[in-house]
Amino acid sequence: MFTAHDAGHLAISSNFVVDTLIGMFVADFCCGLSIGWWKSSHNVHHLVTNQPEHDPDIQNVPLFATCPSFFKSLHSTYYNFTFVWDAVADFLVPYQRFTYYPVMGIARFNLYLLSWLHVLSEKSSSLGKSRAWWIRPTEITFMACYWFLFGYCLLWRGLPDWTTRVVFVLVSHIITMPLHIQITLSHWGMSTNDLGETESFAQRQLRTTMDVDCPAWLDFIHGGLQFQAVHHLFPRVPRHNLRKVQAMIREFCNDTGVPYSILNFTDGNKKVLGRLQDVSDQLDILVKCQKHMARTGESGLH
């Protein structure tokens, strides 16, 4: 999937058709995920990083809330859908620090759903009126091939019984958990405030994005995703140049005083878990206040 990410940003050949086909082969054919869905969502994420109303990457109610803005039933401009804060969110979010890793272990199943919803959507079908008309039918074909090979040939015909099939599916999907942690690590612990038009693009990206520090010999494990702050400033820089650009970003931040966030993988996880706990604590206070006012009849206004 690291290669699909590079292809989605045209960071391999810089040719739209070539990189799109590479992305389709890796994402759609090999993994059953729509590169078209990913590009649609990911491009918006790059434009409005960590803005609760706009960034689909942090719109995960009722499972997770990375800021209190979600408490007021926030409307998503990306999905054109209101994430209603209800009793389910009241029940799940207080435990989000503990459910974070288990959910990351099964997150792949949600990506399957989002991928099919995208390729069958009006947004995807509208490509038929453009020069990119070939993308949708190619994606559907590749994703269907994936499910034929994985679902029918391997699971149904290749494995002997349902117990083996279920265990194989769970193990093969849970093993992707480190990738999903890596994806969320760079943003979920960072600022979600909107500081308005006076904040520059570079300042906003560096405020909402964190790099993960690691030695150069470990770069292959992270697949370039450890340089998310650098990547958000220069999305089409090839992966093998990100470490070089990181040195330039450090120098820029030192010269300008713009904060640059970088933590190792362990401390980055602690930061995300700390943010999830902070939001849970704020929710707990609000719920206690609501119960107190309901019991006493107080309005909370003085």
> How far is the CA of 234 from the CAs of 41, 201, 239, in angstroms?
18, 11, 11
Is 129 within 8 Å of 138 (Cβ atoms)? no
The string of pLDDT tens digits covering residues 129-175 is 678 889 999 999 999 999 999 999 999 999 999 999 999 999 999 99
- Report if pTM > 0.85: yes
Give the pLDDT band of residue 300 (cuts 50, 70, 90). low
Distance, in Å, from the CA atom of 20 to the CA atom of 36, rounded to the nearest integer, reads 9
Long-range contacts formed by 277-286: CB under 8 A, 24+ apart? 277/97, 279/65, 279/66, 279/67, 279/68, 279/93, 279/96, 280/93, 280/94, 280/95, 280/96, 280/97, 282/68, 282/71, 283/65, 283/68, 283/71, 283/90, 283/93, 283/94, 284/94, 286/71
Distance, in Å, from the CA atom of 57 to the CA atom of 59, rounded to the nearest integer, reads 6
pLDDT for 297 equals: 74
pLDDT for 301 equals: 52
Beta partners for residue 212, in sequence order: 263
The SS3 call for residue 189 is coil
pLDDT over 70, % of the chain: 98
Residue 302 has pLDDT above 80, yes or no: no
The string of pLDDT tens digits covering residues 180-230 is 999 999 999 999 999 988 899 999 999 999 999 999 998 888 888 999 999
Identity at 82, one-letter amino acid code: T
The string of pLDDT tens digits covering residues 262-286 is 999 999 999 999 999 999 999 998 8
**Average pLDDT value for residue range 28-49:** 95
Smallest CA-to-CA distance from 259 within 196, 185, 199, 214 is with 199
Identity at 29, one-letter amino acid code: F
